[in-house]
Amino acid sequence: MNERCQLMKQIMEYSFAAHDWNLYLNTHPNDRMALRFFKEMSKKAMELKKIYAEKYGPITVSDVNNDQEWTWINEPWPWSV
Amino acid sequence: MWNYQKRLQYPINIKTPNPKLASFIASQYGGPHGEVGAAMRYLSQRFSMPNGITKATLTDIGTEELAHLEMVGTLIHQLTKNATTTEIENSPMAPYYIDHGKGVYAISAGGNPFKAETFSVTGDPIADLVEDLAAEQKARATYDNILRVSDDPDVNDVIKFLREREVVHFQRFGEALDSIQNKPASRNTFYMGMKNK
């Protein structure tokens, strides 16, 4: 697995963890441990997404930071083989 | 509103074309227990929910189902992209191919196009959440059936992830249902009959 895929895998892991705590917190809104885990996972996912966007290209349109070219349209798209 | 992230929720990298399996898995895109029905059902039911727990749960699970729809579409795409015409012709995908080529279309494994009836909105929070509990089990059972007929480890890894999510969603919908069942209208003997006039 190359460096780019490795970083994307980490983003998927932290984002997934944050999302799963999000669903749990919806029905357990006063669980302090879960609140802490959500914050940790969510922060880590955001940091990694920022690194990925700078190195390899945007994950959201607001990541596009290029005065020459609209990089949002570049490959790969998520479903590509 | 929504923002798109240019990534999947879970990695998919299918190496072996398999049009037969693609035509089975397509049912979880647009079949009776598929992801598009789930996403639209939850996102539509939100509007008549009574509390923050149920509104948030339907919003966030409905959103996750959209990500699952993208994953199922990716499976169909990757299982068919490098399949030859002969391989497709000799598989159960042949009739689908005549109408939809290698495109991703919302249809059941039995060939019925997606039906909006699966959205199942009653406007009654108890009825809708009980429907959602059943829907998660039906989707889980469909993924179990797919696992019984699939022997591709790369596909099965993804299907197992999607199957586990149905189990988690069932749990959260159960908790959301508790949040309104345990606070019934004051003089009600039964769970049903919310103050909702």
**What is the rounded CA–CA span in Å between residue B141 and residue B34?**
11
Q: How many CB pairs under 8 A join A and B?
A: 71
Residue B117 DSSP code: G
Could you give the number of structural domains in chain A? 1
Residue A54 token pair:
């700078």
The answer on pLDDT for B189 being more than 60 is no
Burial B34-47 (b: 16+ CB within 10 A, else e): bbbbbbbbbbbbbe
Q: A12 lies in a domain?
A: yes
Q: A77 lies in a domain?
A: no
Question: What range does the domain containing A53 cover?
Answer: 3-72
Q: A28 lies in a domain?
A: yes
Testing the interface with A: which of B4, B7, B14, B155 to mutate, by most A Cβ within 10 A?
Answer: B7
Q: A14 lies in a domain?
A: yes
> At which residue do the structure tokens 């149905």 appear?
B166
Sign of the alpha-carbon dihedral angle for A73, A75, A81, B6? negative
- Which parts of A1-81 are beta strand (E)? none
Interface of B to A at Cβ within 8 Å reads 3-14, 52-53, 56-57, 60-61, 64, 70, 73-74, 77-78, 81-82, 168-169, 172, 175-176, 179
pLDDT at B196: 47
Q: A80 lies in a domain?
A: no
pLDDT at B187: 52
Q: A78 lies in a domain?
A: no
pLDDT at B197: 43
Nearest CA in chain B to A24: B172
**What is the rounded CA–CA span in Å between residue B97 and residue B85?**
9
Q: A20 lies in a domain?
A: yes
CB-based contact (8 Å) between A58 and chain B? Answer: yes
Longest Cα–Cα distance in chain B: 67
**What is the rounded CA–CA span in Å between residue B144 and residue B153?**
14
pLDDT at B134: 97
Q: A48 lies in a domain?
A: yes
Chain segment B73-132, per-residue pLDDT in tens: 999 999 999 999 999 999 999 999 999 999 999 999 999 999 999 999 999 999 999 999
Contact criterion met (CB < 8 Å) for B70 and A60? no
Q: What is the mean pLDDT of chain B?
A: 93
Of A23, A59, A60, the CB nearest to B172: A23
Phi and psi, residue A26, nearest 5°: -55, -35
Domains of chain B: 19-181 (1.20.1260.10)
Let me know: does B16 contact B152? Beta carbons within 8 Å.
yes
